[in-house]
Amino acid sequence: MTFDRSIKIAPSILSADFANFGAEIRAIEAQGADWVHVDVMDGHFVPNLTFGPPAVKAFRPHVKTFMDVHLMISPVDQYIEAYAEAGADMITAHVEAGPHIHRTLQAIRAQGVKAGVVLNPGTPAEAVADVLDLCDMVLIMTVNPGFGGQKFIHSGVEKTRKIRAMIGDRPIHIQIDGGVTPETAPLVVAAGADVLVAGSAVFKGGSVDNPGGYGENIRAIREAAETARG
Ligand code: DX5
Ligand code: ZN
């Protein structure tokens, strides 16, 4: 994958039909998704439980685009190899998940996988300043992680602006996750984001039998975001 700052929409399959992941992934990709975002939760770092490595491995053959695996787990390091072997194209780990984010990012890259660092809404931009050269992406959470369908937290907009300035010319994506809609997407894109995760805003009103609904939702977010680019 060559680096560029075009807008990329990454639907979160946390909002998909859990009995039908293969068909859901094929449907969102056919309807224009650029990446597929997989939310891994451990019931400890966040108050919810989702996908272990075997589940992620089962998703892999259905993903033709780019599988972005968001690890909301603590500790992280001992699971990196398993999620890499499951087929993640990128693994993102939270700066709050342990004392050694630098080591964690090195371990992700050592697996030959792209690496991302994640900040919760309560964590300041400066927390990633010293690890940017180990990252292919910074993920700025605009909800407290754990659940889909929450309200966008606006302090993420100013944080995006700060991190975009810190990144400068380096080939590092800025991803936004939580409460992204056609209303909030332009705010973060104007501040410098290029990858937009959206769960409920993509899956609402659609289904594998009515995939056109997903397409309408993806296009609405993309068009709103691109307008903000001018
Ligand atoms: C939250 C997850 C998100 C979530 C986004 O813990 O990291 O990816 O699924 O869902 P929406 O877009 O509904 O806020
Ligand atoms: Zn996520």
Q: Report the alpha-carbon distance of residue 49 to residue 37 in Å, rounded.
A: 16
According to DSSP, residue 52 is labeled -
Give the closest residue to 132 by CA, choosing from 174, 87, 99.
174
Question: DSSP states of 80-139 as a string?
Answer: HHHHHHTT-SEEEEEGGG-S-HHHHHHHHHHTT-EEEEEE-TTS-GGGGGGGGGG-SEEE
pLDDT greater than 90 at residue 34 = yes
The Cβ of residue 49 has, within 10 Å, a number of other Cβ atoms equal to 12
Q: How does pLDDT run across 202-215, given as a tens digit for each residue?
A: 999 999 999 999 99
Among 18, 200, 203, 204, name the best residue to mutate to test ligand 1's pocket (greatest count of ligand atoms within 8 A of Cβ). 200
pLDDT greater than 90 at residue 39 = yes
Question: Is the separation of the CB atoms in 169 and 3 below 8 Å?
Answer: no
Write down the pLDDT at residue 83. Answer: 99
Q: How does pLDDT run across 132-177, given as a tens digit for each residue?
A: 999 999 999 999 999 999 999 999 999 999 999 999 999 999 999 9
Q: Report the alpha-carbon distance of residue 146 to residue 198 in Å, rounded.
A: 14
Which tokens is 206 given? 């659609």
Residues forming the active site: 39, 177
Q: Report the alpha-carbon distance of residue 134 to residue 146 in Å, rounded.
A: 26
Q: How does pLDDT run across 42-83, given as a tens digit for each residue?
A: 999 999 999 999 999 999 999 999 999 999 999 999 999 999
Among 28, 35, 39, 42, name the best residue to mutate to test ligand 1's pocket (greatest count of ligand atoms within 8 A of Cβ). 39
Average pLDDT of the chain to the nearest whole number:
98
Question: Is the separation of the CB atoms in 199 and 148 below 8 Å?
Answer: yes
Q: Whose CA is nearest to atom 4 of ligand 1?
A: 148
Cα distance between the two ends of the chain:
25
The finding on whether 179 has its CB within 6 A of some atom of ligand 1 is yes
Q: Report the alpha-carbon distance of residue 2 to residue 139 in Å, rounded.
A: 19
Burial of 2: CB neighbours in 10 Å, binned 0-12, 13-18, 19+: exposed
Banded model confidence at residue 1, pLDDT cuts 50, 70, 90: confident
Give the closest residue to 137 by CA, choosing from 108, 158, 179.
108
Distance 11 CA to ligand 1 centre (A): 9
Count the residues in the chain. Answer: 230
Q: Report pTM.
A: 0.98
Write down the pLDDT at residue 230. Answer: 76
Distance 99 CA to ligand 1 centre (A): 25
